[in-house]
Structure 1
Amino acid sequence: MAVAVAGVLVAAGAITYSVAEDGGADAAAPAADSADAGFARDMAVHHQQAVEMSYIVRDRTDDEEVRRLAYDIAQTQANQRGMLLGWLDLWGLPKVSSKEPMSWMGMGGMSDGEDGALMPGMATNTELKKLGTLNGKAAEVLFLQLMTKHHKGGVHMAQGCADKCTVGVEKRLAQGMVEAQQSEIDLMAGMLKARGAKP
């Protein structure tokens, strides 16, 4: 299993750095209400929660496999979040919008933001608080379940950008996210099964 985790980590890291080398800006900056800007804003928020969950579980278990996965998710998504916010700066666009999350996908209002879950797949404040009270296997299982749901929401959003965004480097990052997060979903399914739990 460690080899499988390492393979996912290398793939995710390669995606992040190959995109970073590409620059991040095409000839013209996208509009503030474009899919490119909407994805950058929304995925930055979505990624921030994944980073937070990963740091929570890292301190709640001694299991090396889970800690390694959590570390990779935290590092990869923090790097990608920095790229997304950097592009908004480069484009001269605000990092927050008055529009509802996911409206660039035609999905505004999909989540009412109740208990902190601003977008599909995001954990609620109650779920995050519970994760912070668990230890060992119980923490591992809840983390893997929450992160599986989180990644599914992220894959859906990233596919939306791959389909709708116009900035080449951002489309490539989004497609890389789809592939890397789907790979991690598959990995986490096996980890949950090994712990006698369902996704």
Structure 2
Amino acid sequence: MTRTHWAAITAVVLALLFAAAATVATAGGGDTPAARTPTAESADAGFARDMSVHHQQAVEMSFIVRDRTQDDEVRRLAYDIANTQANQRGMMLGWLDLWGLPKISADGEPMDWMGAGPNGGSGGSGHDGHDSHGSHSDHGKQEAEDAALMPGMATRSDLERLDKLSGKQAEIFYLQLMINHHNGGVAMAEGCVELCTVGTERDLAQAMVDAQRSEIDLMVGLLHKRGADVLS
């Protein structure tokens, strides 16, 4: 197995350990996930399920770029994103366990809890199928391969391409993908702030909004330093 695969496995293990700790920490009284049990169809459960999947891809992309560049700024950013989102994912999975709810919805589509379609009103990975040099990719084929994407998520082809790049080009593509990823995550988290009923989960969602907006500003600056722009 590659170092990236081992790193991803390590992140999942750490997230599950964190989930267990989060479950115990939120189990006592007050306005906590333990005190108010949402239904499987609720915004609380839908957000926890969908954002867990969304976060897992951010962790995966961050471990990929960590092995594809030696740039300290990008590696530090990737490390921070991977650790933060693995921990948050662990909390959300822990809440689903605490509520006795499934981590995967067998009936509904992603983003149903926001009243949106499979793509949450977003078209795939959030860009138009052009790479950073302006060449056109077979975006229709990508979307066929990557069904039911949530806002901002990269396609399987995007991830394969990132894994083949190195150095500055890997940094640029990672930043472009992660900016789109964060924009989609912010929209989802804002939905939870508005729709979720568990105060602890709303607080986490608001923290995601604030942190990811700040990281978007940072990543836009890093892109411009490399003479690149955000994907349209």
2:72 to 39, 64, 71: 64
Q: Secondary structure of 1:140's match? A: helix
Q: In structure 1, what is the Cα distance between the partners aligned to 2:43 and 2:87?
A: 21
Q: In structure 2, what is the Cα distance between the partners aligned to 1:172 and 1:22?
A: 15
Matches within 5 A, 1:72-151: 72-97=80-105, 98-110=107-119, 114-116=144-146, 118-151=149-182
If the length of structure 2 is used for normalisation, what is the TM-score? 0.75
Counterpart amino acid of residue 124 in structure 1: T
Q: Secondary structure of 1:186's match? A: helix
Change (3 A) 1:114 1:156: farther
Q: Does 1:175 align with 2:206?
A: yes
Change (3 A) 1:177 1:140: same
Identity among equivalent positions (%) equals: 66
Counterpart amino acid of residue 107 in structure 1: A
Tell me by how many angstroms 1:182 deviates.
0.3
Tell me by how many angstroms 1:25 deviates.
2.0
Matches within 5 A, 1:34-45: 34-45=42-53
User: Contact between 1:26 and 1:167, CA under 8 Å: does it hold in 2?
Assistant: no
Q: Does 1:27 align with 2:58?
A: no
User: Contact between 1:121 and 1:152, CA under 8 Å: does it hold in 2?
Assistant: yes
Q: Does 1:154 align with 2:162?
A: no
Please, what is the CA RMSD of the aligned residues?
Answer: 1.7
Q: In structure 1, what is the Cα distance between the partners aligned to 2:112 and 2:228?
A: 34
Q: In structure 1, what is the Cα distance between the partners aligned to 2:168 and 2:114?
A: 37
C-alpha distance after superposition, 1:123-162 (max 9, x if no partner)? 0000000000000000000000000000000000000000
Q: Across the two proteins, how many residue pairs are aligned to each other?
A: 181
Q: Secondary structure of 2:206's match? A: helix
Q: Which residue of 2 aligns with 1:4?
A: none
Q: Which residue of 2 aligns with 1:186?
A: 217
C-alpha distance after superposition, 1:5-58 (max 9, x if no partner)? xxxxxxxxxxx9xxx596252422001100000000000000000000000000
Q: In structure 1, what is the Cα distance between the partners aligned to 2:118 and 2:155?
A: 16
Q: In structure 2, what is the Cα distance between the partners aligned to 1:59 and 1:154?
A: 24
Counterpart amino acid of residue 154 in structure 2: A
Q: Secondary structure of 2:103's match? A: coil
Q: In structure 2, what is the Cα distance between the partners aligned to 1:135 and 1:125?
A: 18
Q: In structure 1, what is the Cα distance between the partners aligned to 2:154 and 2:73?
A: 22
The structure, 1 or 2, with the larger RCO (C-alpha pairs under 8 Å, 6+ apart) is 1
User: Contact between 2:34 and 2:98, CA under 8 Å: does it hold in 1?
Assistant: no
If the length of structure 1 is used for normalisation, what is the TM-score? 0.87
Q: In structure 2, what is the Cα distance between the partners aligned to 1:183 and 1:193?
A: 16
Q: In structure 2, what is the Cα distance between the partners aligned to 1:38 and 1:54?
A: 24
User: Contact between 2:34 and 2:99, CA under 8 Å: does it hold in 1?
Assistant: no
Higher helix share: 1
Runs of at least 4 residues off by over 6 Å = none
Q: In structure 2, what is the Cα distance between the partners aligned to 1:115 and 1:106?
A: 24
Q: Which residue of 1 aligns with 2:61?
A: 53
